[in-house]
Amino acid sequence: MALSHDLGTLTKAFSGLGVDEKSLISILGKWHPEQTKSFRKGSSDFFVEDERLFERWDDHRLKLLKHEFLRFKNAVVLWTMHPWERDARSIKEALKKGPQSYGIIVEVACSRSSEELLGARRAYHSLFDHSIEEDVAHHIHGTERKLLVALVSAYRYEGQKVKDDTAKSEAKTLANAFKNADNKNPIEDDEVVRILSTRSKPHLQEVYKYYKKLYNNNIDEDLDGDLRLKETVQCLCAPHKYFSKVLEAAMRNDADKSTSKGLTRVVVTRADTDMKLIKEEFHSEYGVSLSKKIEDSAYGNYKDFLLTLIARGD
């Protein structure tokens, strides 16, 4: 009975976001060789048996497990890194990984202040001897290029002044571009790119409100067919909704490696910025507190570190 309980505990310790180090130490440290063998024999999710009846780690599972052991280290390294360097390295990694990671470029470009984005661009110069704009233009060849280059090049007005007539007019401009999507992809429309890459965030939030009043729909709800534009609008106009979605997706059982990294990224980058508002939005959207969701999804030192960071603003 005790062995059966230990096997279940170990399986759980190996199967979440991060690793439950305390369980590994308390169980594996007292086991004899026969008990370790029983674990290998009874854990087909982790071990495979070859034609010589030799139980070895499944290569794919071993690769994943190594990644889980690294989660805590990576979170600590990112937390202690200068925010400008952190953002610069995030963009560089996204460019290396390709289209599935371009949302991270949008996230950095649209959720940082003008000074923070300028700082990331300076750090990128220092680290990689290129500009972010140069590398985005070089690596991205699809329809997203025009928008992404414009976003990373932005230096937005940070004040609160908004011209209501202009905001209302630009809500109509966006709506017309979306309606004309069959003739021209909105992400390549010069006016769409201009509005999203140059206007201040308070202005764009007014555009978002006017769009809702005029068309009974949120802008991002009318962009389900274009992920990159949708991410851009959410990061600029409803950032706490956007970050809540990234966190929820990262903690799903079927999340891939890239998606699950969003948990570390968002917690580390927003802990000292707007985590309190993100937690409120997460609870409203998913009916569970962010801390409870992390408790249920993550393990060990990684979990404890994340919980410490999200509590900083309380």
Instruction: Evaluate whether residue 63 is within a structural domain.
Output: no
| Same domain (yes/no): 19, 137 | no
Q: Which of 289, 269, 292 is nearest to 279 (CA)?
A: 289
What pLDDT is attached to residue 2?
A: 61
State the residue range of the domain holding 22: 2-57
What pLDDT is attached to residue 92?
A: 98
Instruction: Evaluate whether residue 50 is within a structural domain.
Output: yes
Size (the chain), residues: 314
| Same domain (yes/no): 45, 84 | no
What pLDDT is attached to residue 68?
A: 87
- Which is higher by pLDDT, 55 or 67? 67
Q: How far is CA 67 from CA 9, 60, 147, in A?
A: 20, 11, 33
Distance CA 295, CA 293 (A): 5
Asked if 177 and 215 touch (Cβ cutoff 8 Å), the reply is no
Q: What secondary structure does DSSP assign to the chain, as a single string?
A: -HHHHHHHHHHHHTSSBS--HHHHHHHHTT--HHHHHHHHHT-TTTEEE-TT--EEE-HHHHHHHHHHHHHHHHHHHHHHS-HHHHHHHHHHHHHHH-GGGHHHHHHHHHHS-HHHHHHHHHHHHHHHSS-HHHHHHHH--STTHHHHHHHHT-----S----HHHHHHHHHHHHHHHHTTTTS-GGG-HHHHHHHHHS-HHHHHHHHHHHHHHHSS-TGGGGTT-HHHHHHHHHHH-HHHHHHHHHHHHTSTT--HHHHHHHHHHHHHHTTTTHHHHHHHHHHHHSS-HHHHHHHHB-HHHHHHHHHHHTTT-
**Residue 189 scores a pLDDT above 90:** yes
What pLDDT is attached to residue 26?
A: 81
| Same domain (yes/no): 52, 83 | no
| Same domain (yes/no): 253, 178 | yes
Total number of domains constituting the chain:
2
Instruction: Evaluate whether residue 276 is within a structural domain.
Output: yes
What confidence tier does 1 reach under pLDDT thresholds 50, 70, 90?
very low
| Same domain (yes/no): 109, 257 | yes
| Same domain (yes/no): 258, 184 | yes
Instruction: Evaluate whether residue 62 is within a structural domain.
Output: no
Instruction: Evaluate whether residue 103 is within a structural domain.
Output: yes
Segment 54-77 mean pLDDT = 85
**Residue 5 scores a pLDDT above 50:** yes
**Residue 74 scores a pLDDT above 80:** yes
Percent of the chain surpassing pLDDT 70: 97
**Residue 192 scores a pLDDT above 50:** yes
| Same domain (yes/no): 198, 266 | yes
pLDDT digits (tens, 9 = 90+) for 36-54: 777 777 777 778 777 666 7
**Residue 113 scores a pLDDT above 50:** yes
**Residue 56 scores a pLDDT above 80:** no
| Same domain (yes/no): 170, 300 | yes
Instruction: Evaluate whether residue 161 is within a structural domain.
Output: yes
As a whole number, the mean pLDDT across the chain is 91
Q: Which of 102, 136, 134, 108 is nearest to 120 (CA)?
A: 108
| Same domain (yes/no): 259, 147 | yes
27-41, 130-144, 223-237, range with the lowest pLDDT: 27-41
The backbone region for 129, taken as left when phi is positive above 0, alpha when psi lies in -120 to 50, beta otherwise, is: left
| Same domain (yes/no): 52, 78 | no
Instruction: Evaluate whether residue 66 is within a structural domain.
Output: no
Asked if 99 and 106 touch (Cβ cutoff 8 Å), the reply is no
Burial letters 57-76, b for 16+ CB under 10 A, else e? eeeebeeebeebeebbeebe
| Same domain (yes/no): 131, 262 | yes
What pLDDT is attached to residue 53?
A: 61
**Residue 103 scores a pLDDT above 70:** yes
Residue 6 sits in a domain whose CATH number is 1.10.220.10
- What's CA 97's distance to the chain center, in Å? 14
For 260, other C-beta atoms within 10 Å of its C-beta total 19
Q: What secondary structure does DSSP assign to 28-40, as a single string?
A: HTT--HHHHHHHH
| Same domain (yes/no): 254, 160 | yes
What pLDDT is attached to residue 275?
A: 96
Segment 13-26 mean pLDDT = 82
Instruction: Evaluate whether residue 33 is within a structural domain.
Output: yes
